[in-house]
Amino acid sequence: MNLMTIMLQGGGASAGAGGSMQFLIMMVLIFGVMYFFMIRPQQKRQKELVKFRNALEKGQKVVTAGGIYGTIKEVKEGYVLLEVDNNVNIRIDKAMIMRDPSDNVAK
């Protein structure tokens, strides 16, 4: 064997080990970026929505998931009685109340 063959064989073995370490670091970085830019903000929005739904009270104006605007007439544990027009009331599941109509940006 000549010197060139020995150097090429030695360099190939160490490059393979370094390559797998770089791959592992890259995967950890990708997961970290996904967590901070996708998963964490979604969890924060979900917590805010649950807090909003638990704070619903009579007379508050809301928008449902189906786009119905109305005023809350009665709040029960599992549903809300919503007045959508004069003397027109509908019962909506609390989970379908999405936001306050004064929020111009849909979350």
For residue 48, name the pLDDT band (cuts at 50, 70, 90): very high
pTM for the model: 0.64
Can you read off the two tokens belonging to residue 37?
Answer: 């830019």
What is the pLDDT averaged over residues 40-56?
92
Confidence (pLDDT) at 7? 54
Can you read off the two tokens belonging to residue 24?
Answer: 């592992």
Cβ neighbours for 70, distance < 8 A, ≥ 6 positions apart: 61, 62, 64, 82, 83, 84, 90
Q: What is the pLDDT of residues 89-107, one digit of tens each?
A: 999 999 999 988 777 654 4
Can you read off the two tokens belonging to residue 15?
Answer: 């490059």
What is the pLDDT averaged over residues 26-40?
92
- 3-class SS of residue 34: helix
- How do the domains of the chain map onto residue ranges? 1-55, 56-107
Bridge partners (DSSP) of residue 90 are 82
For residue 54, name the pLDDT band (cuts at 50, 70, 90): very high
Owner of token pair 């306050």: 100
- Architecture of the 56-107 domain: Roll (2.30)
Of the chain, the percentage scoring pLDDT greater than 70 comes to 80
